[in-house]
Amino acid sequence: MKFITDLHLHGKYARATSKDLTLPMLEKYGRIKGVDILGTGDFQHPQWNRHLKESLTEIDGTGIYQTFGGQKFVLQSEISLVFTQAGKGRRVHLVILAPSLEVVDHIQEALLARGRIDYDGRPIFGMSCADFVDMMQRISPDIEVIPAHAWTPWFGVFGSKSGFDSLKDCFLDQTKHVHAIETGLSSDPPMNWRLSQLDGINLISSSDSHSYWPWRMGRESTIFELKQPTYAAILKAIRTGEGLAGTIETDPGYGIYHFDGHRDCGISYSPEESKRRKGICEKCGKPVTVGVAARVEELADRPEGFKPKHAKKHTDLIPLSELISGVLGVGLATKKTWTVYHALIKKFGTEFAVLLDATQEQLKEVVDASLADVILKNRHQQIQVKPGYDGVYGIPIIGDRALRIEQDESCPQESPKKTQKGLDEY
């Protein structure tokens, strides 16, 4: 059986999240989206941990937890590490998966010995990635640590601002315990296939959502093909690729760090143009933020278009709400958008059923031909995207018309200064 999963989320105690972001809301919109298994988010935070223990029960010792309504969850969190290694300041975010609430209790205890865990759902610690993985392995060999949004400039393991050139450079002798990376919004599998160093690393995709809205949660997902959903089976798939069927991604150009650029100046460059300009913004004369496309180009040792023999399937999709919003020319959370969205969900059951399976004839029974056509174009990757840069989302283009995509101001990018300030304070 195939299971769509989103294994990187946050709860209401994380920075820049809604106070209504609870398990019931994740369950409600997870079902609407069509995500079978969600990450719990932030399991080490004391109040969120209490919420998890009050709301979830384990399914027959499987390591999969469920709400009273039946939505399935995997215990998951994210940690921010700020440290110095090889003479350079590093900032790396890591996703953690845990097999049980008992193991989570031991993780809490270990983290408390290093600092505070009550001020943010994604706390900051001054330790290296290698030390952190070693600490997790000492707690349980069934804990999985995955580099989050691996290419993000400031907080990705390969990030242009504070990352590394290889996983081995980052994780040192603990690299053997790193089996997968998150592609992130601004990269997709073909970009990662260009690095031979990642041949033994599995690629997963997750939303890193700070809200429960269906245009955020599940926008990137991982598909597992398993006899039954258990933590052990998911862990094996992540570690070996057996049972890992593929990923649902957004077009990498949609991501907020795909191209080089300056948000304040409204300037963006392709890797070629940025190289020609020596990475300098034509407007302010300062260095641009180097995006994912350029960073991949820098580290790649294979040509564009290379595909490994055992590559997993991936599908690029723009969220349904954004398609409706763009075609109608109204906001994402407006009544007009919701009316059309819910009509489609009523007909097809879930958003993924609309995006992946509904035929054009079936769609026309609910919406007009223009939107039906856009949904089909989306499925077949026929929507061009003006690439995002320096914290600005990419803009999908249909014909000569740009879809109106709202920026997610509820989830601003954390600045390096704020991160260091948080480390100093906590």
pLDDT of residue 253: 96
Sequence ranges of the domains in the chain: 2-254+412-425, 319-382
pLDDT of residue 342: 97
Distance CA 184, CA 217 (A): 13
pLDDT of residue 397: 86
Q: Using the CB atoms, write b or e for 381-418: b if 16+ within 10 Å.
A: eebebbbbbbbbbbbbebeeeebbbeebeebebbeeee
pTM (predicted TM-score): 0.93
By 3-state DSSP, what share of the chain in percent is helix, strand and coil, each rounded to 5?
35, 20, 45
**Encoded amino acid at 329, one letter:** G
* Residues 40-80 pLDDT 10s: 999 999 999 999 999 999 999 999 999 999 999 999 999 99
Check: CB of residue 212 under 8 Å from CB of residue 172: no
Tell me which residues of the chain have a pLDDT lower than 70. Answer: 399-426
Decide the pairing of beta strands 37-39 and 72-85.
parallel
């989320």: which residue's tokens?
9
Residue 61: CB atoms within 10 A of its CB come to 9
Distance CA 291, CA 257 (A): 5
Distance CA 125, CA 114 (A): 7
Among candidates 85, 296, 51, 289, which has minimal Cα distance to 171? Answer: 85
Q: What's the distance, CA 111 to chain centroid?
A: 23
Among candidates 241, 95, 250, 260, which has minimal Cα distance to 188? Answer: 250
For the domain bounded by 2-254+412-425, which CATH number is listed?
A: 3.20.20.140
Decide the pairing of beta strands 88-98 and 267-269.
unpaired
Decide the pairing of beta strands 395-398 and 401-402.
antiparallel
Distance CA 29, CA 338 (A): 13
The DSSP-derived string for 288-325 is PBP-HHHHHHHH--S-TT---TTPPEEEE---HHHHHH
Enter the tokens of residue 324. Answer: 């409706």
Could you give phi then psi for residue 28, rounded to 5 degrees? -55, -50
pLDDT of residue 415: 45
Residue 262, CA distances (Å) to 70, 73, 219, 279, 404 in order:
45, 38, 25, 11, 21
For 20, the 3-state DSSP assignment is: coil
